[in-house]
Amino acid sequence: MQSADSRPVKVLILYYSFSAQTSGLVHRLGAGLEAQGVHLVYERLQPLTPLKFPIGTVLSTLFMMFITFLRVRISIQPLSSKCWEHYDLIVLAGPTWSYNPSGPVLSLFDRDGLKLFAGQQVLPLISCRGYWRMHWWGLRRLLERCGAKVVNKMIFVHPNKEPWRTIGVFLKLAGRVPERSRWLCRHYPRYGHSRGQQETAFAFGSAIGQALKGGTSLADISFVPGRTGLL
């Protein structure tokens, strides 16, 4: 696929994923982009010391929630050289951690933010249990401080109802299997995003590819699940 000025359209999907939810979404998003002929590059942020999912115990899960609330950074390996090429769009994707971007994404901003995002069109994707607004405001501020043009946002929340969603995520992080618990499985059949949400991500990818191809604004796409398309 060529852009309006007949260059190939290139998109970088830069992401971090701890429990495979963001990863599942960005790969469906990427499939939608590729279906439109976009040249796609994935880059997953890799912590210097790999993090183990599940965290394992209730105490260590509470501890991680506390330090992530304090926005403690998690150092990451250097980005691969392909990240420094020109892209028509960077999709920056990752989970919410205690109302903030995750530690690896915060590290990315500290080290590479200015060089990576200045003058760049960026579309964030957030995967979370349900509480994304503070994350979104903080992320948009970080991107704008780096000189990025934040064109829109894609938000995916776990489809389960409260309070089961919070209980289920906490137990899952702590190493339990709530979806197989006799008392919880009726209210909490699955951790994370649904198949339907993954197909929504595919539709978003197609819509982004079409907009980039046609030279239309990504700000005009409705990224509300079920309402994909131009506003």
> Kind and range of the H or E element at 25?
helix 21-35
**Among the residue ranges 76-84, 104-112, 121-129, 222-230, the one whose residues contact ligand FMN (CB under 6 A):** 121-129
Q: Which of 84, 150, 104, 159 is nearest to 128 (CA)?
A: 159
Told to check if 99 binds ligand FMN by CB under 6 A, we report: yes
Q: H-type helices in 42-147, by residue range? A: 58-69, 103-117, 133-145
Told to check if 128 binds ligand FMN by CB under 6 A, we report: yes
In angstroms, the Cα distances linking 38 to 12, 34, 87, 207 are 10, 5, 11, 12
Specify whether the CB–CB gap between 20 and 230 falls below 8 A. no
User: Which of 58, 65, 151, 167 touches ligand FMN (CB under 6 A)?
Assistant: 65
CB 228 → ligand FMN: shortest distance, Å? 20
What's the rounded Cα separation, in Å, for the pair 142 and 117? 10
User: Which of 11, 17, 197, 208 touches ligand FMN (CB under 6 A)?
Assistant: 17
Told to check if 129 binds ligand FMN by CB under 6 A, we report: yes
User: Which of 127, 197, 200, 228 touches ligand FMN (CB under 6 A)?
Assistant: 127
**Among the residue ranges 20-28, 113-121, 182-190, 216-224, the one whose residues contact ligand FMN (CB under 6 A):** 20-28
For ligand FMN, the closer of residues 53 and 84 by Cβ is 53
Dihedral class, residue 85 (left if φ above 0, else alpha if ψ from -120 to 50, else beta): beta
Told to check if 98 binds ligand FMN by CB under 6 A, we report: yes
For ligand FMN, the closer of residues 97 and 109 by Cβ is 97
**Among the residue ranges 27-35, 94-102, 178-186, 205-213, the one whose residues contact ligand FMN (CB under 6 A):** 94-102
Residues 137-166 interacting with ligand FMN (rule: CB under 6 A): none
For ligand FMN, the closer of residues 127 and 200 by Cβ is 127
What's the rounded Cα separation, in Å, for the pair 68 and 97? 6
Dihedral class, residue 147 (left if φ above 0, else alpha if ψ from -120 to 50, else beta): left
What's the rounded Cα separation, in Å, for the pair 149 and 145? 10
Residues in touch with ligand FMN (CB under 6 A): 17-23, 64-65, 68, 95-99, 127-132, 169, 173, 192
